[in-house]
Amino acid sequence: MIVEDDPVLLPLMVEMLSEVRARIVAFETADGALNHLTEGSSYCSLLIADHGVPGKLSGTQLAALFRAKWPKSAVIVTSGYELAHATLPEGVVYLQKPWAGGQLVDIVVRLLQPGIAFQRD
């Protein structure tokens, strides 16, 4: 699951993660993502959420709710602003923007498949 309100970055993230055969659902708000999570009971192995998305919930608040529902799932919070690690839920990876595409993919692969290196073409 990707939560990102930047209209350029969101499709880019979807494309990058499609390269590692991820099945992706994407939202522009944490509120929309939370609605999706509460409507379905299917497992979600990864959340990537921008901290500063519009709506009632921040990406970090969504990350905390996500970790409560699926404590073993991987969570990445991104932001263009520096966030204090103490403000992040336990076990959440923080990735400050701007980040390189390869950096995001490497983190996702490391979180979802520990010990397996992603081979770029």
Domain CATH for 10: 3.40.50.2300
Residue 47: closest CA among 102, 120, 96, 111: 111
pLDDT of residue 121: 41
pLDDT by position in tens, the chain (length 121): 999 999 999 999 999 988 878 889 999 999 999 999 888 767 889 999 999 999 999 999 999 999 998 898 999 999 999 998 888 998 899 999 999 988 998 899 889 887 655 444 4
pLDDT in tens, 77-112: 999 999 988 889 988 999 999 999 889 988 998 898
| Residue 7 maps to a domain | yes
Torsion angle of alpha carbons 21, 27, 33, 35, nearest 10°?
A: -120
Q: Which residues contact 7 (CB under 8 A, 6 or more apart)?
A: none
Q: For 76, left (φ over 0), alpha (ψ -120 to 50), or beta?
A: beta
Q: Range of 55's domain? A: 2-112
